[in-house]
Structure 1
Amino acid sequence: MQITVVGGGVAGLVCARTLHRAGHQVTLIEASDGLGGRVRSDRVDGFVLDRGFQVLFTAYPAVQRQLKLAALDLRAFDPGAIVAWRGRRDILTDPLRDRDPSALIGAVLAPVVSIGDKLRTLQLAVQMRRQTIDELLTGPDRTTLAELQALGFSQQMIDRFFRPFFGGIFLDRSLQTSAKCFRFNFKMMSDGQTVVPNSGMGAIADQLAAELIAAGKVRLQTRAVALINRDGGVSGVRLADGSELQSDAVVLATPAPETARLSELPVPEGSLGSSCVWLATRQPLYRGTKLLLNAEENAFVNTLAPMSAVAPGYAPPGWHLYAAAILGVPELDDSTLIARVMVDLHRIFANEAAATTALANARILRVDRIPFAQFPQPPGLHPNLPDNRTTRRGLYLAGELTEASSINAAMLSGERCAEAILQDVAR
């Protein structure tokens, strides 16, 4: 069976590799010059820069099925986070996972949130560990904000920790994202580690693609402009150069807007964007490998990630690499956006001469703008997402848009799409 997979992101790679291993003739086409979609890394003057700040949860079920994690040289962030607020920085951490005595003591004493909120967080982590994923996702849905309020968390805890932390995951600091997404991600962090490969997130895509590339199944810089419709079904794709790829089945593994353009099928609407400023300093801004959260109400930088402290492969010797993550894509030119980032960072480290000096001499490596990083996931959305099978014979969908916005969901969709095709072939 000849199958064309359109899109070389994580979902397309998983789907294509599964079908290839099943013995089908697969061609994966990708419009850009590389594979992985957002899960790509670039080398810039000896630094490794991902396409925006992103991490991997080792507890993701699909990740455990699809990746050889030991081969990725994974490096872990320390559990918890450093919360920057009112000119100070306090530690919040998970005592079930954090083995640093100083971090545990600091977290207990930190005045950023109450002891009651810390105990509620611990109780929630224990509860999430005991429940299965299916148990977490059953029942009615509500917003993450409503979930946190129902769990008894104070407004202080919500504003100072959950908004910047989970706002960074969902790209929604208002916490209007489905509580089922919150429960799933909280469990993933409780059950495993938050990591990046030492050579960058692109190592994930490289591993998924290696088998397909070796078999000559990948065509880069090959853009599909239209589907070929025949006898009420889809029989291939038309390419930008005017040529056609005839296929028994076509998989659209593209972002939702591109899937909608090619298929004219309903897909999740809206988009959530993100931006990232990559900066390097000669001296570290702070010690340790915890994510720093900006809990100020008017925060421009949402999170600061010490990438080279976590994974030394991200920076050449003598340098410290940071990813300053911003929610959304501000309508600012690069110089203005960078200036806003530096204002926030100088405010966070205002009382530390060494960090202030390091920032004054920081090297800006790149500004990433990602207009479509996720689609909005309000309560009740997921049961109504598209199926991998479509109403058009020969056309299938793979990608976050059939599951949820995450690396796990993309891999899961790729798996399920391939399974649907194999089932249909067997009939």
Structure 2
Amino acid sequence: MAAADNDPIDVLVVGAGMAGLACAADLAAAGLKVRVAEASDGVGGRMRTDVRDGFRLDRGFQVFNTSYPQVRRRFDLRSLRLHPFTPGALLHTPRGRLRFTDPTRRPRDSADLVSGRLASPRDLAALAVLSGRDMLLPPAVLRRSADVTTREALARAGVSEALVETFFRPFLSGVFLEDRLETSGRFFHLVWRSMLRGTLCLPAAGIGAAPAALAEALPRGTVRLEQPVEGLTGEGALLGGGREQAARAVVVATGPAAAAVLLPGLAVPDTRAVTTYYHAAPTAPLAEPTLLVDTEGGVLNTVVLSEVCRGLAPAGRALVSTSVLGGGGREAEVRRRLADLYGTDTAAWEPVAEYPVAQALPAMAPPWPLTRTTRFAPGRYVCGDHRATGSVQGALASGARAAREVLADLAAA
């Protein structure tokens, strides 16, 4: 339920990213008066799409996983007009390109995997057991397992160091945004499960279509854009311009740094940084919607997004997305590396955009709690992927948990 501008409300949600929108949706469905205050000019947080010169540019490379439980609960996937990536990846190695793919989905593309060029028979057996376990066991079993680093989890599964270095480390570097496999092994097992059970896609209009769909489903007037929150007060929150919004509860659904400003004393994790570069090419350097992974670490990965969805680039142009760890300012270096990866002259490629994302993901070192309470203080809550796992599922689930805890506390008051 939305409220008029000056009315007291039940809950103020600060931030219109995926966590905040999920929280607001569940609170509104329960009949509460909810408002979402978003400082920027659009919803989505890190999941936004810009339109520039006919290109649709996500603010950082994104994929949309159809297997996430919260995704299945909240989205009409057909309305997003999803376009799939090729399952698996192409690996650029010193031995040339090798293709890693799920042989149960793309048997015709699995020659590198089953022939021994990519994995030994022992690795194939270990991979089969690992994948079968992660895909078939109940998620609760995976969540309760002892937490170690992803590197240790792979070793315990019998995966050789050779396959780790050829596939898992470079591929997962683009997922976890770190290149030492230090991330929680429990989280790795859940991510691997989601990839095996779902499809990695992009909406036809770019990743921003997902949070836009959540916002459009809220009662009219719930989301207020360009409405910064300057601080929290005893009665609610102080909005930009000096106006106070009275609310029985406030949910801070921002990134960790902004949350710590509004909630002094909040413990926040370290974060991972990534920069995504977009280039326009006259023709597609790879005529398939497949992620190309750089095993030598020049970049994390690159993909021709206009092969995933033609509408992401204007007619006669190809849109190439490439991500690297850390900050930006390396466009010329990246473009030179792309010439090696794609085996083509990139000198004439046009730089379209550069998106550095300083707090792209929480650094999820083990033991990492896969979920935690959103309660911070009486009437104060905090949610986001940094309170769960660095994923769309984590953000949505944290928002849902915040709504449950708010509803329980208000009912008990």
TM exceeding 0.5: yes
Partner of 2:340: 347
What is the letter of the counterpart of residue 222 of structure 1? Q
1:169 correspondence with 2:175 = yes
Aligned with residue 366 of structure 1, among 347, 353, 362: 353
Partner of 1:78: 86
CA distance in 2, matches of 1:108, 1:139: 30
The answer as to whether partners of 1:267 and 1:401 remain within 8 angstroms in 2 is no
In the TM superposition, 1:111-190 aligns within 5 A as 111-190=117-196
Partner of 1:60: 68
CA distance in 2, matches of 1:306, 1:188: 23
Secondary structure at the residue paired with 1:16? helix
Aligned with residue 40 of structure 1, among 38, 48, 73: 48
Aligned with residue 211 of structure 1, among 190, 200, 217: 217
Structure 2: stretches of 5+ with no match in the other structure: 1-8
The answer as to whether partners of 1:87 and 1:348 remain within 8 angstroms in 2 is no
In the TM superposition, 1:383-402 aligns within 5 A as 386-390=372-376, 392-402=377-387
CA distance in 2, matches of 1:271, 1:289: 29
Partner of 1:324: 322
The answer as to whether partners of 2:147 and 2:368 remain within 8 angstroms in 1 is no
Q: CA deviation at 1:364?
A: 1.3
Secondary structure at the residue paired with 2:375? coil
CA distance in 1, matches of 2:88, 2:124: 11
CA distance in 2, matches of 1:107, 1:84: 14
In the TM superposition, 1:257-268 aligns within 5 A as 257-268=257-268
1:12 correspondence with 2:20 = yes
What is the letter of the counterpart of residue 307 of structure 1? L
Secondary structure at the residue paired with 2:110? helix
CA distance in 2, matches of 1:269, 1:419: 23
CA distance in 1, matches of 2:118, 2:340: 17
Partner of 1:232: none
- In percent, how many aligned pairs have the same letter? 33
The answer as to whether partners of 1:267 and 1:386 remain within 8 angstroms in 2 is no
What is the letter of the counterpart of residue 312 of structure 2? Y
Q: CA deviation at 1:87?
A: 5.9
Partner of 1:303: 301
Partner of 2:10: 2
The answer as to whether partners of 1:78 and 1:98 remain within 8 angstroms in 2 is no
The answer as to whether partners of 2:146 and 2:186 remain within 8 angstroms in 1 is no
The answer as to whether partners of 2:14 and 2:37 remain within 8 angstroms in 1 is yes
1:286 correspondence with 2:286 = yes
Q: CA deviation at 1:198?
A: 1.2
Q: CA deviation at 1:110?
A: 6.5
The answer as to whether partners of 2:11 and 2:34 remain within 8 angstroms in 1 is yes
Q: After superposition, give the CA deviation of every residue in 1:167-225 in whole Å (9 maximum; x if it has no partner).
A: 1111111000000110000000011111111110000011000033x611111111111
1:50 correspondence with 2:58 = yes
Q: CA deviation at 1:106?
A: 4.3
Q: CA deviation at 1:98?
A: 2.0
CA distance in 2, matches of 1:113, 1:368: 35
Q: CA deviation at 1:33?
A: 1.0
The answer as to whether partners of 2:259 and 2:266 remain within 8 angstroms in 1 is no
What is the letter of the counterpart of residue 352 of structure 2? L
Structure 1: stretches of 5+ with no match in the other structure: 230-234, 351-355
Partner of 1:380: 367
TM-score if structure 1 supplies the norm length?
Answer: 0.91
Partner of 2:407: 422
The answer as to whether partners of 1:82 and 1:291 remain within 8 angstroms in 2 is yes
What is the letter of the counterpart of residue 219 of structure 1? R
Q: After superposition, give the CA deviation of every residue in 1:12-71 in whole Å (9 maximum; x if it has no partner).
A: 011112212222111110111110001110111111100100111111011111111111
The answer as to whether partners of 1:94 and 1:122 remain within 8 angstroms in 2 is no
CA distance in 2, matches of 1:236, 1:78: 47
CA distance in 1, matches of 2:29, 2:114: 51
CA distance in 2, matches of 1:307, 1:72: 17
Secondary structure at the residue paired with 2:233? strand
Q: CA deviation at 1:264?
A: 1.1
1:89 correspondence with 2:75 = no
**Count of aligned positions:** 404
Partner of 2:5: none
The answer as to whether partners of 2:227 and 2:240 remain within 8 angstroms in 1 is yes
Partner of 2:256: 256
CA distance in 1, matches of 2:392, 2:385: 8
Cα RMSD of the aligned pairs, angstroms, is 1.6
TM-score if structure 2 supplies the norm length?
Answer: 0.94
Deviates more, 1:278-287 or 1:251-260: 278-287
What is the letter of the counterpart of residue 32 of structure 2? H
